[in-house]
Amino acid sequence: MVLNVVAAPTTTPATTPTLPAPSPQTVVDSVGSAVRDLEQGRMYGDPTTNAKYWVSQHSMNCTLMATAMVIGQLTGKTPSEAQIVYEASTTPSVNRGPGKSMYLGLNSDTGINDGDARALLANHGITTTYTRYTDPNQALEDLKSTLDDPKKAVIVGIDSAVVWAEVYKKDPPPNVKTADHSVVVIGVDTNNNIVHLNDSGLGDDLDPITNQPVGRDVQIPLDVFIRAWSADSYLIFAGEQTGNPIPRTAWVANMPRKDALDSVVNTPFAMGDLNNNDPAKAQHLVHFR
């Protein structure tokens, strides 16, 4: 019989290895990795709280209604559509020329422009910044950072067709064409890659499952949001409460007849614009003055 004999291994005394000291850059990278790891499961913003500031639009006034939602989110007092429409219709425009109001009223196809939206927010003590990006990753990081500050609120421009196709599950999704709609971002969920929006343009329809308005806290996949957001060069229109609102006369005391609000907010500014743009309509509505 032949035995296979395995020689016993020789041993040498153990030595403690000498490790190189980490470079500062290595430490920074490690911290960055740790932060990214912790981000899993992170919600930026507070959609549960800020969903309640949603309001619906009933005209071509999405930017104005986004402005109202930002006012509500930052001050705790959300103007109704009638209130914000009346305010914008009685406030001189900073962009549209002398003697013109920010907004013509609910019967107008012309909404409020971004310059007037910023001026309107300033009247409520809200300072704004307005930034577009070429890098979507940087835009998203800045969006998350802004949402992380409870003293700030964010309006973005999107291609509405891209978002609404996702909401109503239309297939195939449309190509990105143009930024035609303003919404308020109230949360970015980095665990589930979901973006939360308050969207005035989805109207008063109720979700059959939640029995809540469809536009309140709309939740869409991050990649869909990025596509829709790209139409406006990843605009971040951020507001921050930094001062006190300018006192205004109570809007109810100065309102025209309530039924006129369904067609136009009847103010000297609005009527003057209507006389120039649609004399027949202005003549028809003159009895509401």
pLDDT tens digits, residue range 175-198? Answer: 999 999 999 999 999 999 999 999
Would you call the peptide bond into 172 cis, given omega within 30 degrees of 0 as the criterion?
Answer: yes
Is residue 1 predicted with pLDDT exceeding 80? no
State the Cα–Cα distance between residues 118 and 15, nearest whole angstrom: 68
Which token pair is 233? 């060069």
Range in 42-51, 221-230, 253-262 with the lowest mean pLDDT: 253-262
State the Cα–Cα distance between residues 185 and 196, nearest whole angstrom: 6
State the Cα–Cα distance between residues 229 and 244, nearest whole angstrom: 31
pLDDT given at position 280: 47
* 44: confidence class by pLDDT, cuts 50, 70, 90: very high
Residue of higher predicted confidence among 263 and 80: 80
- When mean pLDDT is compared over 1-10, 83-92, 154-163, the highest value belongs to 154-163
pLDDT given at position 258: 38
pLDDT given at position 289: 27
Is residue 22 predicted with pLDDT exceeding 50? no
Residue-averaged pLDDT of the chain:
78
* 107: confidence class by pLDDT, cuts 50, 70, 90: confident
Is residue 251 predicted with pLDDT exceeding 60? no
Average pLDDT over residues 75-86: 90
Residue of higher predicted confidence among 213 and 12: 213
Residue of higher predicted confidence among 272 and 176: 176
Q: How do beta strands 43-45 and 181-189 pair?
A: antiparallel
Yes or no: is domain 42-241 CATH 3.40.50.300? no
Instruction: Tell me the backbone φ, ψ of residue 78, rounded to 5 degrees.
Output: -85, 120
